[in-house]
Amino acid sequence: MATEQTIILDGQPVPFQAGQTIMDAALAAGIYIPHLCHNPEFKPHGSCRVCVVDIDGRTLSACTTKAAAGQQIACNTPTLNDHRRAITQMLFVEGNHVCPGCEKSGACQLQAVAYYLEMLGPRFPHFYPSRPVDASHPTVLIDFNRCILCELCVRASDQVDGKQVFSVGGRGINTHITINSPSGLLGDSTLDIHDKAVDVCPVGAILKKHRGYAAPIGQRLYDLQAIDVVGDVALVQEAEHDA
Amino acid sequence: MVSPISIHAPPPEAGCFKPVRRSDELPIDSSRLEAIVAAYSNSPHYLVQILHAVQAAYQCIPPAAQVYLADALGFTPAQVQGVVSFYGFFYETPRQYQVLFADNIIEHFQGKAVLMQHLLDRLGVKVGEVRADGRVCVDNTACIGMSDQGPAALVNGLVVTRLTAARIEQMADLIEAQTPLSAWPADWFTVESTIQQRHFLLSTPFEPGSALRVMQQKGADGTLGELAQAAIRGCGGAGFRLDSKWTICRNTPADTRYVVCNADEGEPGTFKDRVLLQEYADLVFEGMTVCAGVIGARQGFLYLRGEYAYLLDALRAKLAQRRAAGLLGTAILGQAGFDFEIEIHLGAGAYICGAETALIESLEGHRGVPRKRPPPFPVNVGYLGKPTVVNNVETLALAAKALVVGSERFIALGTAQSRGTKLLSISGDCSRPGIYEFPYGVSIRTVLEACGADPTTVQLVQNAGPAGLSLSPAEFDRLICYEDVNTTGALMIFNHQRPLIEVTQNFADFFVHESCGFCTPCRVGTSLVSRLVSKIRHGQGSTADLEELRMLSALIKTTSHCGLGMTATNHIQDSLKKFPAVFQTRLHEERPLHPCFDLDAALSEAQQLRTHASSC
């Protein structure tokens, strides 16, 4: 029976339960597969493609692929890590990510994944899109320049908050998060600072106002420990809230 | 020529957006909207159809109407706007005339850019901008399936073919005079069915109902058996056996099943489904009805690409005819319990909706974002979560025809793995473009000779659109069949006079335009590829850029979410391998190992950014 409940991840047997994805099984076993759009509290999305793994000759996202007994999965390979690094670099040039000036620096999942993947520079020419910062809400700020389109805010607002504050508009390279309010601005929406959607942003796109730099640079989550050790910033935040 | 793109500088609109205001309202007559929504049974699944109706009524989809629709259909206004902004044919600012030029490379080589510029100049408007008086907007769109009679454009959704300088001149006058389309010269809207060669499918006339009678006689099992004998494979690209698809769907336990005919023929250079629907609609509808009889479906959809809206009236009339003849509706052929209806859903300018799960999303009233890679397959979990057969137009026509003629005649044609015949849409540098029906196993060379293209003058045959296979002269003896050159049915021919770098740029830009934007490698990667090609095309590329192209091509192909991304760089990889001179001859020779620096270009980029920032 034991073999039926096991996948082989980089040569190592990893147990899983029926219905679990490869990502679920890896997380449960304490094995880190780099990811950005995935958050175990939500239905897998599979859009960032950072968690791609090779399964029997196919390259699939670990977060959306169900674990199956005996599956041979290659994850930590030079080629896949090259791909993951390049995808991360794509996200850096697509938006405007100015780490030294970003409040989320040091506790940003995009930055932490980049460090983990040994990204040394942006590699590709920057797109420098002109995107708005929406500071219209009294307690929450959204800076679209830093958005990586993981759609976690869309999912959280819909599935947990029951508000559908966030949506997706446009197509292709013009795809972007939209806000459901008459003015299209956050201040005019039903978003509340205690909403789940505010806490799930893995980057510095959605930020709480009036609490900047609460933890000094150098003492932030990923300043102290790498992401493969400490995990996703949203989950750590949650644990801190609960404590 | 492809519109010039400066090195590094993104198109001004890339990734750039503003908050969506829903308050700048046009006067909205809610009773009019109420009637539109009621005509679609107040169902959110008809959102894309409802948006078409709203746009027809208001010359756009006003933000206030979106708020109304959201309320009426159970969406948020932002979700409705998300759908509006996904589809290329929907717009939020009114205009009397919307002129969309087909931007396929075939039309470019037919002189499209000059004609378009002429119209822009005459009307005093820039590409994609609505003129201040709200009269007109002139823009580009992907291939509209008229490569055999281009250059062509869509005017308020209707096809105008064989554009000439004289037609453009007259078109400008008609627009300035606000002449309604109904008073434009009728022959402009003629779409010819240029069938050049007929075989199994097209040679003999089809008697409506004849396939259904065969099915009635053989029963569902016997019909499936006959189709299994014929070994028909799907013509949409994947080549999945038709009988297997129907069997799996039939055997999936469910209270409801659906049949969908995929008529979202979007591969640039393809127009066979357009001709089938124009000339052989009975065959297609009959194929759908046979499928319904076999799998036990009561509802079918024809998902017709928005570009073919001109076919709507004729297709609806055909459906009415079939209903009157007892071939559709309740108790088909007098058989109690055999009930089946077909509805036509109109797409709205999104190539991705040709991918079956994106098509299903669109049918359900959503943005056309493909579902996660199967399993589950649509035959198990499809439209509204129910088992759904999605077949290409040609596949369904073949099924009906094979039942009538018999599988023996069908399997006598073709090769071991590819039985029967294939329709080919042929365009480009040949004297007789149009539709050719060949048995599988025909060589590229034979096809070239048949359509009046001297193989010695041809440098590239692009098979199955930009996502397909680029064939060099050394490969002209290869055979069209699943064992060798797999095709969706399009061959674009380019002679030695054509600069292939323009082809490459056009294809790269096509994928930028058509990427749905869901996954990172396709959304960002296709733009990076387009910029690199542009850089090389402008003589600013280095050997390092070729390496970068190789890397990006492999990355996008391997890691993308769906088939669009997985095939978007096939043409780049083929070109690098088979036509290296396309890139090599344009590399900056003085410093081959380093990206070069062009002061003027760098300054113009800064200038562009400055204007861009002030306008955005």
pLDDT tens for residues B110-156?
A: 999 999 999 999 999 999 999 999 999 999 999 999 999 999 999 99
Task: Name which of B20, B350, B515 is nearest A184 (Cβ-Cβ).
Answer: B20
Do the chains contact at A176 and B17, CB–CB below 8 Å? yes
* Average confidence (pLDDT) over B434-461: 98
Residue with tokens 């490969």: B475
* Average confidence (pLDDT) over A82-110: 96
Cα of B268 to nearest chain A Cα, Å: 18
Cα of B9 to nearest chain A Cα, Å: 7
d(CA B362, CA B359): 5
pLDDT tens for residues B38-87?
A: 999 999 999 999 999 999 999 999 999 999 999 999 999 999 999 999 99
Assess whether pLDDT exceeds 80 at residue B11: no
With beta carbons less than 8 A apart as the criterion, state whether B357 and B390 touch. no
Rg (CA), chain B: 24
Assess whether pLDDT exceeds 70 at residue B8: no
* pTM for this entry: 0.95
Do the chains contact at A174 and B8, CB–CB below 8 Å? no
Assess whether pLDDT exceeds 80 at residue B609: no
In a 13 Å sphere around the CA of A132, the CA atoms on its Cβ side amount to: 17
pLDDT of residue B533: 97
Do the chains contact at A183 and B76, CB–CB below 8 Å? no
Do the chains contact at A129 and B14, CB–CB below 8 Å? yes
Cα of B15 to nearest chain A Cα, Å: 4
pLDDT of residue B29: 84
Residues of A in contact with B14 (CB under 8 A): 127, 129, 173-174
Do the chains contact at B524 and A91, CB–CB below 8 Å? yes
**B605 compared with B10, residue with greater pLDDT:** B605
pLDDT of residue B3: 40
**Structure token pair of residue B369:** 């974002």
Weakest-pLDDT range from B28-37, B381-390, B544-553: B28-37
Helix extents (H) in B11-124: 30-39, 47-58, 63-73, 77-84, 105-109, 112-123
Percent of chain B with pLDDT over 70: 93
Q: How confident is the model at residue B26 (pLDDT cuts 50, 70, 90)?
A: low
Do the chains contact at B23 and A183, CB–CB below 8 Å? yes
d(CA B233, CA B231): 6
pLDDT of residue B599: 73
Q: How confident is the model at residue B465 (pLDDT cuts 50, 70, 90)?
A: very high
Do the chains contact at B79 and A180, CB–CB below 8 Å? yes
Cα of A66 to nearest chain B Cα, Å: 10
Assess whether pLDDT exceeds 80 at residue A2: no
pLDDT of residue B373: 86
With beta carbons less than 8 A apart as the criterion, state whether A219 and A125 touch. no
Best probe of the B interface among A33, A35, A48, A49, by most B CBs < 10 A, is A49
Residues in chain B, overall count = 616
pLDDT of residue A75: 98
Q: How confident is the model at residue A142 (pLDDT cuts 50, 70, 90)?
A: very high
* DSSP conformational letter for B9: P
Do the chains contact at B523 and A49, CB–CB below 8 Å? no
Do the chains contact at A83 and B555, CB–CB below 8 Å? yes
Do the chains contact at A169 and B512, CB–CB below 8 Å? no
Do the chains contact at A95 and B15, CB–CB below 8 Å? yes
- In sequence order, which residues have a C-beta less than 8 Å from that of residue A11 and are 6 or more positions away? none
Crossing angle of helices B210-230 and B393-405, in 10° steps, is 100
**Domains of chain B with bracketed CATH:** 97-192 (3.40.30.10), 197-411 (3.40.50.11540), 421-497 (3.10.20.600), 501-584 (1.20.1440.230)
pLDDT of residue B604: 78
**Domains of chain A with bracketed CATH:** 2-76 (3.10.20.740), 81-242 (3.30.70.20)
Average pLDDT over all residues of chain B: 93
**B390 compared with B16, residue with greater pLDDT:** B390
Do the chains contact at B524 and A129, CB–CB below 8 Å? no
pLDDT of residue B22: 61
pLDDT tens for residues B280-332?
A: 999 999 999 999 999 999 999 999 999 999 999 999 999 999 999 999 999 99
Cα of B245 to nearest chain A Cα, Å: 22
A130 shares contact with chain B (CB less than 8 Å): yes
Best probe of the B interface among A167, A183, A190, A203, by most B CBs < 10 A, is A167
pLDDT of residue B519: 98
Q: How confident is the model at residue B591 (pLDDT cuts 50, 70, 90)?
A: low
How many Cβ pairs closer than 8 A exist between chain A and B?
167
Three-state DSSP state, B121: helix
A217 shares contact with chain B (CB less than 8 Å): no
pLDDT of residue B236: 83
Do the chains contact at A49 and B81, CB–CB below 8 Å? no
Q: Which residues are paired to A94 by β-bridges? A: none
**B20 compared with B198, residue with greater pLDDT:** B198
Cα of A124 to nearest chain B Cα, Å: 8
pLDDT of residue A4: 56
Weakest-pLDDT range from B6-20, B450-464, B528-542: B6-20
A182 shares contact with chain B (CB less than 8 Å): yes
- So what's the ipTM on this one? 0.97
d(CA A167, CA A186): 12
Residues of B in contact with A44 (CB under 8 A): 372
Helix extents (H) in B412-475: 444-450
pLDDT of residue A237: 74
pLDDT of residue A238: 67
Do the chains contact at B78 and A164, CB–CB below 8 Å? yes
Q: How confident is the model at residue B409 (pLDDT cuts 50, 70, 90)?
A: very high
Residues of A in contact with B601 (CB under 8 A): none
Task: Name which of A44, A124, A184 is nearest B19 (Cβ-Cβ).
Answer: A184
Interface of A with B in 10-49 (CB under 8 A): 44, 46-49
pLDDT tens for residues B244-275?
A: 999 999 999 999 999 999 999 999 999 999 99
pLDDT of residue B7: 32
Do the chains contact at B527 and A178, CB–CB below 8 Å? no
Q: How confident is the model at residue A239 (pLDDT cuts 50, 70, 90)?
A: low
pLDDT of residue B5: 33
pLDDT of residue B595: 55
**Structure token pair of residue B166:** 């004289």
